[in-house]
Amino acid sequence: MSNASVAIRNLPRFSLEWRTLRRWPLFPLFLVLVLVLCALAAPVIAPHDPIKGNLLESGMPPVWLEGGSSKYLLGTDIQGRDVLSRVIYGARISLLIAVVVIATGGAIGVTIGLIAGYFGGQLDEVLMRIVDFTLAVPFILIALVVVIVFGQSLEVLLTLLALFSWGAFSRQVRAETLSLKTRDYVAFARIAGASTSRIMIRHLLPGVINTVIIVATLRVGSLILTESILSFLGAGIPPPTPAWGLMVAEGRVYIDSEWWITLFPGVAIFLTVFAMNFLGDWLRDRFDPVLRQI
Amino acid sequence: MLALSLLVFALSHKSGDPRTVMLTAYTSKEQWDAWGREWGLDKPLLQQYAIWLGRALRGDLGESLRELRPVGKVIAERIPATLELAGGAFAFSILIGVPLGVLSAVRRGGVLDYAGRTFALFGQALPPFWLGIMLILIFAVRFDWFPTSGRGNIAHYVLPSITLGWLTAAGMLRIMRSSMLEVLDSEYIKLARAKGVSYTSLVWKHALRNALLAPLTYAGLVLAGLITGAVVTETVFAWPGVGRLAVQSVNNNDFPAMTGVVLMFSLIYLGMNLLIDVAYALIDPRIRY
């Protein structure tokens, strides 16, 4: 141990910084940064309107293929819309969904997890049964039915995803709370006269926040994947909104000839989910090795 | 289960009057009311639910509004196709996931480990519908090695099985790897090694048996993945299974069929979880129920 620290101290400063930096998942972080940038600045970055197309220029291949034009870097779809612009705007939808669902689902999940873990007893039983239910049902099937009943809209999709995503948070938070509440400092807080809500918010919540962040990061990937599946099946984002899953579905019929309509949104989904999963794994290994597969 | 059935029933009723599917310009008011009486639509909702649940418990799920045949029959016809597909996918994920997981644990830090982990990360990030379409594009359209869609001879199974099994194979590999690493580190493996057990036998017999417990728990999740995946994969490959029936009946407002499918999937899900518990006890004699 002492040898190692001596060795590190002898290294030049730059090299030391480079070493710590290299342990960071740079490529996934870069991908997420690009995604956020695309989402926030879509109107500035995107070269064309994502919804209005020019039918005279429909089905044009990407710029590097014969017949491609530098006007449309990744080609155009059947309605003559720029694929690149649609992919960039698609980041907006995906990120919006991820942020809203994780925020609401996380808030509900943490609250319920804290309550279940802290009070225990029958309340805990009931709450955990509900969690089991939300995690055990074939979600895609339920989603299909719900979307057909209430119509295809962003609000319905968000509600649905939020309703079925808080369970994972609750489970982890409850488990953490169960062990935290037996700690001495919680007992001292109680003796000092702290109210139940104060104990939960000021003393237990900070203890579980690490877990919550890790679960959130791990969930984003599968959330974006689920959204794209629903959009693909025609039960997610309604057209003509540029959602990645929807774009894949629209391009599917023309896969023989105009494959680029399908390829690029799929790559976008893949890179996003890959980056988020990688970050989640990395966070988990770094901050909480005990937390295993969820 | 009951909660689920209630939820599904409530939703399917909100989805609108099923009679509109049959409606043509020549439908008379009398005909309309007759359909209502025939399907019990004139009774209060709660009573409709009670009737439906009672019948469902006796295995009678009502009549599919689109095909005008009992739902049970419609589903039963499609179950083999889905089971075959799920079997193929399961086989694929075991054949890929288990050996690769073990190898990447044994050769920790080596090339195989690196390849295995990359595959796992890729597998869990690829959208299954997109993977299916790309497989069709490359292996069916460009190279013409496999058919693009439908069910038939053995070649028809290759692409859908890979599509459906991809995600679960990746998950299986990850679990297998971490579980194997844990087991290889334990005392009894060191003892076996000290006793002079050959390396192959040590890894594939002594360690694997204990390391299989974790993936078995994961098998429950695999199943959930296969159910979801079946809906997607069957849509992409025009596979005549239950998953496609679900999408079709939603599009056709065919609520008896839809409720039947959801109930059936949930039943399979529960049943499989039970089976996994039993398999658990078989592999690990320490667990007794």
| Ranges of H-type helices in chain B | 2-14, 19-22, 29-38, 45-57, 71-106, 111-125, 128-135, 155-184, 187-195, 199-201, 208-211, 213-236, 242-251, 255-283
| A20-49 tens-digit pLDDT | 655 677 788 888 888 888 888 777 777 777
Structure tokens at A75: 């080609």
B-interface mutation test, from A35, A87, A141, most B Cβ less than 10 A away: A141
Cβ within 8 Å, pair A274-B121: yes
Cβ within 8 Å, pair A144-B231: yes
Give the residue numbers spanning the domain of B135: 83-240
Cβ within 8 Å, pair A233-B122: no
Q: A19 pLDDT exceeds 70?
A: no
Is there a domain that residue B281 lies in?
no
B7 and B146 inside one domain: no
| B88-130 tens-digit pLDDT | 888 888 888 888 888 887 777 777 777 777 787 777 788 888 8
Dihedral of CA B275/B169/A279/B112: which sign?
Answer: positive
Contact status, residue B179 vs residue B215, Cβ threshold 8 Å: yes
Percent of chain A with pLDDT over 70: 86
B106 and B187 inside one domain: yes
Structure tokens at A159: 């509600």
B174 and B93 inside one domain: yes
- Would you state the pLDDT for residue B3? 59
Contact status, residue B265 vs residue B249, Cβ threshold 8 Å: no
Provide the shortest C-alpha distance from residue B152 to chain A (in Å).
Answer: 22
Cβ within 8 Å, pair B124-A136: no
Dihedral of CA A112/A115/A118/A122: which sign?
Answer: negative
B118 and B225 inside one domain: yes
Query: Which of B11, B124, B127 lies at the smallest CB-CB distance from A149?
Result: B11
- Would you state the pLDDT for residue B29? 59
B45 and B135 inside one domain: no
Distance CA B25, CA B28 (A): 9
Q: A1 pLDDT exceeds 50?
A: no
B48 and B154 inside one domain: no
Provide the shortest C-alpha distance from residue A13 to chain B (in Å).
Answer: 28
Cβ within 8 Å, pair A145-B266: no
Structure tokens at B203: 């890894």
Is there a domain that residue B70 lies in?
no
CATH number of the CATH domain containing B183: 1.10.3720.10
Cβ neighbours for B173, distance < 8 A, ≥ 6 positions apart: B96, B97, B100, B101, B104, B116, B119, B120, B123
The region that residue A193 occupies, defined by phi over 0 for left and psi between -120 and 50 for alpha, beta otherwise, is left
Give the residue from A114, A225, A262, A226 showing the smallest Cα distance to A175.
A114
B131 and B49 inside one domain: no
B31 and B104 inside one domain: no
B93 and B233 inside one domain: yes
Provide the shortest C-alpha distance from residue B249 to chain A (in Å).
Answer: 10
B-interface mutation test, from A32, A145, A171, A290, most B Cβ less than 10 A away: A145
- Would you state the pLDDT for residue B35? 56
Is there a domain that residue B137 lies in?
yes
A-interface mutation test, from B134, B250, B263, B264, most A Cβ less than 10 A away: B250
Does residue A145 belong to the interface with chain B, where contact is any CB pair within 8 Å?
yes
Spell out, as residue ranges, where chain B has pLDDT lower than 70. 1-68, 144, 146-155, 206, 217, 219-221, 223-225, 228, 253, 255, 270, 273, 276, 280, 283-289
**DSSP summary character for residue A56:** G
- Would you state the pLDDT for residue B128? 81
Q: How far is CA B157 from the centre of its chain?
A: 15
Contact status, residue B160 vs residue B132, Cβ threshold 8 Å: yes
Q: Tokens 């194979």 label which residue?
A: B169
Provide the shortest C-alpha distance from residue B196 to chain A (in Å).
Answer: 33
Does residue A228 belong to the interface with chain B, where contact is any CB pair within 8 Å?
yes
- Beta bridge partners, B63, equal B70
Q: Could you tell me the pLDDT band of residue A187, with boundaries at 50, 70 and 90?
A: confident
- Would you state the pLDDT for residue B151? 66
Distance CA A112, CA A167 (A): 9
Count of domains for chain B? 2
Q: Tokens 């995503």 label which residue?
A: A165
- Would you state the pLDDT for residue A2? 45
B50 and B168 inside one domain: no
- Would you state the pLDDT for residue A100? 92
Structure tokens at A36: 């956020």
B32 and B102 inside one domain: no
- Would you state the pLDDT for residue B275? 74
The C-alpha angle A218, A221, A224, rounded to 5 degrees, equals 140
| A110-121 tens-digit pLDDT | 999 999 988 888
CB contact residues (below 8 A), chain B span 103-162, against chain A: 121-122, 124-130, 133-134, 136-137, 141
| A212-257 tens-digit pLDDT | 888 888 888 888 888 888 888 877 788 778 888 888 888 777 777 7
